[in-house]
Structure 1
Amino acid sequence: MSAVNGTPLTRHGSRVPAVPARPARPTAMPAPAAPSARAQATASRPPVTPAPTIETMVICLPDDLPAQALTSHQLATHFGVTGTVTALYWAVPRLRLWQRRQLIGARKGHPTLCAGGPLRLLDLPGLRQAAAVGAGIRYQIWQQVVHGTRPATPWPVFHSRHLTDPDRYPYQRASEEFHAQPRVQAMRLHATATPGPGQPSIGELEMYQAGQVAYQHYRAGSAVVGDAMLTADGRHLAPASDALGYRVTYLEQALAHLDTVGPQQRLLAVSL
C-alpha cells in the first residue's frame, strides 16, 4: 500500500497527503478590570454592628442603697440611667403585709405587680412560665399569618449593611427592601387588620423563625431580665445588637448571674 493511501481526494481525482490542522493560537484573556478605589474601600471595610434596642433594664441594687433612693428621678444620680421605674415582676403568692413593704412600686391585684424587690419575694418561675405560654399562643397566630411565605431576612442584616456603607446603601433603601419581603408584608397586614397588644411584631421576626420552642424560651428569659442588666458590682450586661445570636448570649449571661446572687438581692426594673 502506498504512503498516500487513505488520504482525501482532490477535485482532479488524485490522492494527496492530508495536511494536519494547525493548532489555534491561544487567545490572551483580557486582564480583569481593576476595582475602583471606592469598591476596594467597601470590600475592606468591616461590617458595622447596629446598636441594640434597649427598652427595659434590670438593675441589681447594692445592699447599702436605701429604699428612698429608688425613684425615677434618682436613677441618673445613682446608676447613670435615664428612665422610669416600671412594673415588670410578680410577687410570690400569699404575700404578707410586712413583706409587701419590701416591694418596690407594688400594685393591687392578683398576682401583685411590682417594679422589683428582694429576689425571694419575686415569683420569677411563675412569670417565666406565663411568658412562655403567651409566647406559644402568639407563635401559633404568627404561623397562620405567614403561612405560605418564604423565610425573610431579619432587619439587623439590612441595618448592618446600611451602616457599613451608608452612601451606596442608604437607610431608605434598606428599609424598603426589608419591608418588601412577602413574610414581612404578611405580618404588617395582620397588625393593620388586628391592632392591639400581644400581636406578632416584625421586630421579633428572627425569633419567630427560630421555631416555637426557641421563641418561648426567648420570651420566658426576657420576662425576668429585660433587654439589659446592671449588676450590683457595676457590670453592664447587654446584647451587642438585636440579632438573635446576640440576644441569646445576653440571656445566658443575665440568667446565669441571677443564679449566683442570694435571695436577699433586690431587683429593680426600669423602662428606658
Structure 2
Amino acid sequence: MPAYPVVRTIVVCLPTNATPQSMPALAATRLVAQQLRPAGPVGHFDARHRLTRQLLHRYQGHAAGGPVRLLDLVGMRARAATSAVWLWHRWRDVVDGTRDAQPFPVFVDRHRDDPAHWPLSRAQQAYLAQPRVLAMTTYNAAYRQQPIPTSDIEALQAGLNTYRTLAALSAVPGDALAADANWLTPRSGRLTDQLDYLHAANDHVDRLRPNEQLVAMAAWPLA
C-alpha cells in the first residue's frame, strides 16, 4: 500500500490535428516530461461510434482516445454513478456494526511525523487492523470479482450521495490529466484533495471543443 497515490491512467489532451497513429507518441512525450514511464494506450473511454477510424484502439464500444465528440463522456459518468450506488449499498451491508475507520492518509501522516516510532509497515498494519477495514478486506478475499476498494473508505463513509458524485467525477479524467500546459493530479489521497482535482479536471474537459482530442495512457513513476 503506497504512501501516496500511484498514477495509473493518465488522460492527455491533444490538439485537433492529432491522428490516432500519432496520439501515443504525443502523449508519451507529455508523460516523460512529468517523470513518468509510459506503458501505452488503454481503452478508458466509452465510444459513441465503433467503426470510425478517428478513434484509437476501438474495441467493443471502448477506445483509448479520439475527438471529444466521439467519446461518450456523459454516459461514462452516468454508468459510473449507477455502479457506485450498487457498491455503496453492498459496502454498507459488509461493514454493518463496525465503527468509522480512519483513512490511510491519516496513518501516513503519523509515519511522516515520527518515522522512527511509526515506520510505514506499522502504519499499514494499524490501518488494516481497523474492524471496518478488516471487514472490507475479508469480503474482498471472498468476492474477488467485485471488490470494494479500501482506498475509497473516506468517500464511502461520507455517504451515498458523496460516493456516487465522486464516482461520476472520476469516470473521465483518470488519475491525472495533462491539460495543455498544466498537469492536474490530486495532492494526496484525501477526499478533499481528490475532489479539488476532479473539479478542475472535469471543468477543463467540459470546456474542450468537440474536435479536440483525448487519449488515455497507462504510466508509472520512473523512480
Q: Contact 2:67/2:211 (CA < 8 Å) preserved in 1? A: yes
TM-aligned CA deviation for residue 167 of structure 1: 1.1
Tell me how far apart the structure 2 counterparts of residues 96 and 239 of structure 1 sit (CA, whole Å). Answer: 32
Percent identity, please. Answer: 38
Does residue 149 of structure 1 match 2:105? no
How many residues are treated as equivalent by the alignment? 213
Matched position secondary structure for 1:58: strand
Amino acid corresponding to residue 138 of structure 1 in structure 2:
L
State TM-score, norm by structure 1. 0.74
Greater gyration radius: 1
Tell me how far apart the structure 2 counterparts of residues 212 and 150 of structure 1 sit (CA, whole Å). Answer: 17
Ranges in structure 2 where 5+ consecutive residues have no aligned partner: none
Q: Contact 2:65/2:213 (CA < 8 Å) preserved in 1? A: yes
TM-aligned CA deviation for residue 175 of structure 1: 1.2
TM-aligned CA deviation for residue 60 of structure 1: 0.4
Match of 1:251 among 165, 188, 198: 198
Matched position secondary structure for 2:21: helix
- Give the match for residue 178 of structure 2: 230
- Give the match for residue 55 of structure 2: 103
TM-aligned CA deviation for residue 104 of structure 1: 1.0
For the structure 1 residues 75 and 191, does the alpha-carbon distance in structure 2 shift closer, same or farther, using more than 3 Å as the test? same
Amino acid corresponding to residue 7 of structure 2 in structure 1:
I
Tell me how far apart the structure 2 counterparts of residues 170 and 224 of structure 1 sit (CA, whole Å). Answer: 35
TM-aligned CA deviation for residue 75 of structure 1: 4.3
Greater shift after overlay, 184-193 or 144-153?
184-193
Structure with higher strand content? 2
Tell me how far apart the structure 1 counterparts of residues 50 and 104 of structure 2 sit (CA, whole Å). Answer: 46
Amino acid corresponding to residue 28 of structure 2 in structure 1:
A
Amino acid corresponding to residue 207 of structure 1 in structure 2:
A
Larger RCO (alpha carbons 8 Å, 6+ apart): 2
Ranges in structure 1 where 5+ consecutive residues have no aligned partner: 1-49
Tell me how far apart the structure 1 counterparts of residues 55 and 6 of structure 2 sit (CA, whole Å). Answer: 28
- Give the match for residue 165 of structure 2: 217
- Give the match for residue 268 of structure 1: 215
- Give the match for residue 150 of structure 2: 202
Amino acid corresponding to residue 147 of structure 1 in structure 2:
D
Give the CA RMSD over aligned residues. Answer: 1.7
Q: Contact 1:75/1:83 (CA < 8 Å) preserved in 2? A: no
Matched position secondary structure for 2:57: coil
